[in-house]
């Protein structure tokens, strides 16, 4: 239900505003920083970094965006997707029935398409909150399972945790879903902050799979956009794994006495913001390397009779 709710919400948000968002992307990505800001805002609105990046790849293919503009949007999308983890950590299950009821009534009682779209979005958010509540309640009995506890302890090894996070994300096709489920485990204190952050790092890699698939058979700038997303996430994850203990300590320091679910969400935000800040000085280098690896095809010359 959680996976369906994420897909339902993302699809309805995209249907409600896709044309305007495409216009916004084209108009407000004149430089790298505005591209990052645009990618962040639109990902918050759509609640899906994959949807934004796939849309960006399509716009690059149609030459509505340049590869340089797309690089900023990709980095911004990584920041924007962390907002959902903050919302999930708020223990919002108690509001699920209210949102679902309001959304359903709006959809049923109006003929205006705009209001119907708003109702669909509210219904989708309510379903996400309700499914998270079900997950939290369903995993509670695992506290008494020694085998489950042993598995969670094994995931505290950064490489193992990251591997599981990447695998789960490839299967469910949503890093938000993976992080959301980890936060649900954190709410019931069934996972440590170390294992949770390791899985989160892996989820950032797993989410590249659908954008890479979306770039297959596209133009070279579109392929470069998919490869940049992979390279940016992979390099960020390798840096995160190499400095894993200091990163965990920084999350704990900044989170203070916040509950575990909030600490996990804070780690998600911190990792992606730090990744963008660290990577910014090297964007031109990465752009040059990808342009050299995949140069633009020269137009075929017509032979003169």
Q: Write the pLDDT tens digit of every residue in 135-161.
A: 777 877 777 777 777 877 788 899 999
How many angstroms separate the CA atoms of 88 and 174, rounded?
15
- Give me the chain's average pLDDT, please: 83
0.95 surpassed by pTM: no
The residues near 209 (Cβ < 8 Å, ≥ 6 apart) are: 169, 170, 173
For residues 219 and 41, give the distance between their C-alpha atoms in angstroms, rounded to a whole number.
Answer: 26
Mean pLDDT, residues 49-63 taken together: 79
pLDDT at 305: 46
In a domain, 98, yes or no: yes
* Residue 202, in any domain of the structure: yes
| Domain containing residue 149 | 2-293
Q: Are 92 and 55 in contact (CB under 8 A)?
A: no
Residue 303, class by beta-carbon neighbours within 10 Å (0-12 exposed, 13-18 middle, 19+ buried)?
Answer: exposed
Classify residue 14: in a domain, yes or no: yes
Give a yes or no: residue 302 inside a domain. no
- The pLDDT tens digits of the residues spanning 247-300 come to 999 999 999 899 999 999 999 999 999 999 999 999 999 999 998 888 876 554
Whether residue 188 is contained in a domain is answered as yes
Q: Which comes out higher in pLDDT, residue 53 or 285?
A: 285
Rounded-to-integer distance, Cα 282 and Cα 257, Å: 36
- Tell me how many domains the chain contains: 1
Is 119 part of a structural domain of the chain? Answer: yes
Band of pLDDT at residue 130, cut at 50, 70 and 90: confident
Residue 298 within any structural domain of the chain: no
Per-residue pLDDT at 99 exceeds 60: yes
Per-residue pLDDT, 268:
94
Q: How many CA atoms lie less than 13 Å away from 130 in the CB half-sphere?
A: 15
What pLDDT does 250 receive? 96
Phi-psi region of 299 (alpha: psi -120 to 50; beta: other; left: phi over 0): beta
- The model's confidence at residue 24, banded by pLDDT at 50, 70 and 90, is low
Residue 208 pLDDT exceeds 70:
yes
Asked if the model's pLDDT at residue 197 lies above 90, the reply is yes
Residue 129: is its pLDDT beyond 50?
yes
Looking at the predicted structure, is the pLDDT value of residue 303 above 70? Answer: no
- Quickly list H helices, 140-255: 146-154, 158-172, 175-187, 193-206, 208-215, 220-242, 244-255
Q: Which residue has the higher pLDDT, 81 or 305?
A: 81
**DSSP for 200-212, written as a single string:** HHHHHHHTHHHHH
């Amino acid at each position: 239900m959680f996976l369906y709710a994420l897909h339902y919400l993302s699809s309805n948000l995209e249907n409600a505003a896709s044309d305007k968002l495409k216009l916004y992307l084209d108009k407000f990505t004149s430089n790298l920083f505005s591209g990052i800001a645009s990618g962040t805002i639109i990902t918050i609105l759509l609640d899906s970094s994959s949807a934004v990046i796939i849309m960006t790849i399509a716009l690059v293919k149609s030459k509505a965006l340049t590869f340089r503009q797309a690089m900023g949007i990709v980095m911004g999308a990584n920041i924007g997707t962390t907002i959902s983890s903050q919302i999930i950590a708020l223990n919002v299950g108690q509001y699920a029935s209210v949102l679902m009821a309001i959304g359903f009534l709006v959809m049923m009682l109006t003929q205006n398409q705009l209001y119907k779209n708003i109702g669909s979005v509210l219904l989708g958010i309510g379903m996400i909150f309700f499914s998270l509540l079900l997950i939290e309640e369903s995993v509670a009995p695992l506290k008494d399972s020694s085998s489950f506890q042993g598995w969670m302890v094994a995931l505290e090894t950064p490489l193992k945790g990251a591997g599981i996070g990447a695998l789960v994300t490839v299967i469910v096709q949503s890093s938000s879903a993976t992080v959301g489920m980890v936060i649900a485990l954190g709410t019931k204190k069934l996972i440590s902050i170390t294992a949770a952050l390791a899985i989160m790092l892996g989820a950032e890699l797993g989410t590249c799979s659908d954008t890479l698939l979306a770039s297959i058979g596209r133009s070279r700038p579109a392929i470069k956009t998919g490869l940049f997303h992979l390279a940016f996430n992979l390099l960020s994850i390798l840096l995160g794994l190499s400095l894993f203990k200091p990163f965990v300590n920084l999350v704990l320091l900044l989170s203070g006495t916040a509950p575990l679910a909030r600490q996990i969400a804070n780690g998600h935000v911190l990792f992606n913001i730090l990744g963008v800040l660290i990577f910014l000085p090297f964007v031109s280098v990465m752009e040059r390397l990808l342009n050299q690896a995949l140069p633009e095809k020269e137009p075929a010359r017509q032979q003169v009779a």
